[in-house]
Amino acid sequence: MDRMSSSMTSSMTGMGLGGITGLTSGMSTLSCVREQQITIGGMPSNYVPGLSASYNISSFCHRPGLTRRCAMQRPGPSAQHRPGRSHSTGALHRMKHSSRNSPNNQYTHNLICKLADQNERRRRHDTMELIPQSYYSQQPLKVELTEFYSRDNAKDHHTDQYELVNDNILPNPVLRRGQNFFFAVRFDRTYDKQQDVIRIVFCFGPKPSVTKGTRVVLSVNLNTQQGVFQHSRDMMGLGMARMQEATTTIAPIGTIGTMGTMTTVSTIGTMGPMSGMRETTTYGVRRSSFGNETMPLQHSPLSPPGPMDRPAIERFSATAQHPSFGRSYGSRHGSRHGSSQNLTSMTHEMDKWDVSVQRQDGNTITFQVHVPATAPVGVWNCWVQTNRTGQRDNRHDYKCDEDIYILFNPWCREDSVYMDNDAFRKEYVLNEQGKIWCGTWRQPKGRKWIYGQFDDVVLPACMYLLERSGLEHSERGNPVRVCRAISSIINANADDDGLMVGRYDGEYKDGVSPHAWTGSVAILERYLTNGGRPVEYGQCWVFSGLVVTICRALGIPCRSVTNYVSAHDTNRTFTVDKYFDRDGNEVPNGPDEDCFDSCWNFHVWNDVWMQRPDLPQGYSGWQIIDATPQEEAEAVYHCGPASVEAVRRGEVGFQYDTPFMYGQLNSELCHFQEEENSDWGFIRMASNQCQVGRKILTKNPSRDDDEGEGDLLEITHEYKSVDSSGPDRGTVIASCRGYQRLQQYYEYPDRNFDDVYFDLMDIDVVPYGQPFDCTMNIQNKSHEDRTILCVLTASACYYTGAIASRLRRAQGEFIVRAGQREVLKLHVTPQEYMDKLVDHSMVKVHAMAYVKQTRQAWSEEDDFPLNKPRMQVQVRSQPCVGQECSVTFGFQNPLTVHLTDCYFTVEGPGIQRPRQIRFRDVKPGEFVNFQDKMTPRRAGERHIVATFSSRQMDEIFGCAAVSVRG
């Protein structure tokens, strides 16, 4: 029991996410069930003089040394006593209730026990003469040490940037499905191919199931060892001609045990000296240093003496631009050329888990495991099971301490997230930073965002969020289901515990302003630190940045997409309706107080790359998911994945949420003015440029611009047809509405008599703290005078389109002479808007006009941001890994008031973890110069991002690219 307790303790100390499963299975294997004893005359019924009191007659029927497994009694009639079925039960019944129950009866019972015992000993002796004594005396193999070669495997799996892999205390394997990985096991003695049985078991989730694909049992058999295919998995997509041209290099690595069998291997890089090896006792207790010093390089205790010879393997790729990193294969039967039969066999093999012995050196065996391209993604645990042939109940179970992270693989052709463009993979999977576009469609503003998907807190947070999403573990190999779960768990609503709370009213005193975040890492770390409590606060662009981080961390290609003038249609009419009274004042929520439509200045969602086998051919590629809570779908706030191509073609019948996304891009902006001569009280007003989906942007994967907006990429044509070949928008909307009776209310009245032209002038860039003018041009093209009622309003607004407060309003009725022009101008000073602006410092200008003689009605609105100063970020000297360097942040206060409650937020992946720095009050017009110290941890091209926030002004941010020397 001491040994058992030690083993169970080590399992618990090494337990990570999902480790409960291993502990439960281990306890069920080690638990002992003791049979209930029946007493007769105060003595146990199974008592035999000279034998142990715990001796049980039921043990006569099984071989010594094995655990007796008692069948559970089944309920129902079969559980009742039936005379003649059990002689022993009947005898005990008679002895217990018979009046002739005397010491002679006890003697008879003890006698039969002794005789049966003697018979069992004779049979045992006969059996032992046929089977060698070593069969029973030799115990199963015991695991002393395991090594997953986390760093070496990571290089071939494109996961070497994950900090979990490079941890000095206990590096975790981070692997991509569809590829091989190596790991080694050292046993307490040499493997006996005749009698020893080894099984490698991988478990995923709280209730691993073989039939659901969350529990995998791989049997190791050296007697029938198969060669390892040498060709890359990408070869499967090249066809037969390419397969016949390919050659395979096969090299021996030595004998396996005493078999003399030669094997083939594929390379994962140099697996020679391993750094930071962890020792363990037989029961899996790790012994390692917990200091901060970097552990010196040393030879792995699992590696053979001297360098490990690695045969050179020829690699092939689909194109010269896209090298293959898939599983390597050779011919199982020695054939070097492909055939249709071999292709079928290879495809079948690639869809299954597989284990093979790469080499054996004494007590150490190195295994190569293949993870299929359809495996569920998440945290897996590995168990090594050993027993002797024919003695499966006498088994040793060893749980490896490492949590094995298995991710999607965009480098693998068989994975449904495969992306064949290497430049795109570098951007949409490996890039740790990017831009999220805000502002307006005329003045887009790119905000730098640190995704930080390789930070050590990100993957654990991703796994926890997937657990909270409720997605079945067996479905986590399907990117469609995984992305839909991500879209639902990012936002926190009243009925769930999502990652972040959304807020849009500007009141952030009890949390963190959305504008103060510099990236996703700080949000995810705060979420885990606070026990899974939602973080406060975020908005759509923050949600989008979090989605990019999580998807890229899981291996799903992802980009952030901004739609300018984005419709939010709440009643599924594919219109965004606004109502105004006769004086030009907006009627909140419409005349019936049931219209909650809105039009956001911009809205940010995400595109994820994947195959869509659930849709017809041609709808794979980029798929839309939206983590910002707007409308419920299936009683849950989630949206997507909706095919971008389906949205472009107007195929609104495809799942998921395609009609909703089509509406955000193609709905109509409809303004209605109160009219006494109208049958229903309102008339539709004309507009010059009220158009939804004006511009759709993302970051250009081939450019980086830290100072300006030169790295924007417009992708409007991917979402909306720009030529006549696209679907008729009116037809699509009519089919979505399902009825035509509403159409009459959305049609424009007869415009044959409209003879006055109105135009709301665009506003150029306005610096924060400067005045601006709103201008409306009027031209009377008729030959008669016209009496016109005009309203021009400037308001502070949220980026969701909601009005925060009115800045200034001008209204009047005047006559415009025939053929004459008039200009209506509204001047707004800084004092009128300074204390009224809200998020993004946006101003909405609304103009409305009504011609009395012709009943012509016109309406237009425009939004623009006030530009705030940009922060300058400078690194004084060439930064080096492990050496402290100085970084300076500077900007000028554009206001005539003091800035109070000031703080900086600074972040740089590989240079500086996210942190917040309090700062003194800033005087009016003062130039702020703040210096901070940083110590880079990783070499290469890095980015530093900083924001400044205060009570009077926020959204001051800047960034700089830094080259760190190793």
Residue 234 annotated among the catalytic residues of the structure: no
835 phi/psi in degrees, rounded to 5: -95, 10
587: amino acid identity, one letter = V
Q: Three-state SS across 919-947?
A: ECCECCCCEEEEEEEECCCCCEEEEEEEE
* Burial (CB count <10 Å: 0-12, 13-18, 19+), residue 126: exposed
717 phi/psi in degrees, rounded to 5: -65, -20
Q: Which two tokens stand for residue 288?
A: 């390692």
* Burial (CB count <10 Å: 0-12, 13-18, 19+), residue 532: middle
Q: What is the distance between the alpha carbons of residues 448 and 752, in angstroms, rounded to a whole number? A: 50
Q: Is there a contact between 266 and 328 (Cβ–Cβ < 8 Å)?
A: yes
Write the CB contacts of 434 (distance below 8 Å, at least 6 apart in sequence).
448, 449, 451, 548, 559, 560, 699
33: amino acid identity, one letter = V
Cβ contacts of 872-880, under 8 Å, gap ≥ 24: 872/958, 873/944, 873/946, 873/958, 873/959, 873/960, 874/960, 875/944, 875/960, 875/962, 878/963, 878/965, 879/911, 879/934, 879/936, 879/962, 879/963, 879/964, 879/965, 880/936, 880/964, 880/965, 880/966
> 204 forms bridges with which residues in the sheet?
380
Taking CA 32 as the corner, what is the angle to CA 28 and CA 35, rounded to the nearest 5 degrees? 130
Taking the chain, what is the end-to-end CA distance rounded to the nearest angstrom?
Answer: 51
Sheet of strand 872-875: strand arrangement: 872-875, 885-892, 927-934
Q: Which two tokens stand for residue 358?
A: 């790469």
Q: Are strands 927-934 and 279-280 parallel, antiparallel or unpaired?
A: unpaired
Best CA proximity match to 477, nearest among 396, 547, 378, 388: 378
Taking CA 281 as the corner, what is the angle to CA 280 and CA 283, rounded to the nearest 5 degrees? 110
Q: Three-state SS across 576-618?
A: EEEEECCCCCECCCCCCCCCCCEEEEEEEEEEEEECCCCCCCC
Residue 603 annotated among the catalytic residues of the structure: yes
Which residue do the tokens 């080499």 mark? 359
* Burial (CB count <10 Å: 0-12, 13-18, 19+), residue 394: middle
Q: Which two tokens stand for residue 341?
A: 């039969």
DSSP-derived secondary structure letter, 324: -
Q: What is the distance between the alpha carbons of residues 112 and 108, in angstroms, rounded to a whole number? A: 6
Helical (H) or strand (E) element with 834: none
Q: Are strands 856-867 and 766-767 parallel, antiparallel or unpaired?
A: parallel
Q: Which two tokens stand for residue 841?
A: 């410092």
Q: What is the distance between the alpha carbons of residues 790 and 813, in angstroms, rounded to a whole number? A: 6
Question: Catalytic: which of 113, 203, 540, 797?
Answer: 540
Residue 577 annotated among the catalytic residues of the structure: no
In sign, the C-alpha dihedral spanning 59, 63, 68, 69 is: negative
Question: Catalytic: which of 234, 354, 397, 626?
Answer: 626
Q: Three-state SS across 330-372?
A: CCCCCCCCCCHHHHHHHHHHHCCCEEEEEEEECCEEEEEEECC
Helical (H) or strand (E) element with 154: helix 150-157
DSSP-derived secondary structure letter, 105: H
Q: Three-state SS across 10-37?
A: HHHHCCCCCHHHHHHHHHHHHCCCCCCC
Catalytic annotation, residues: 540, 603, 626
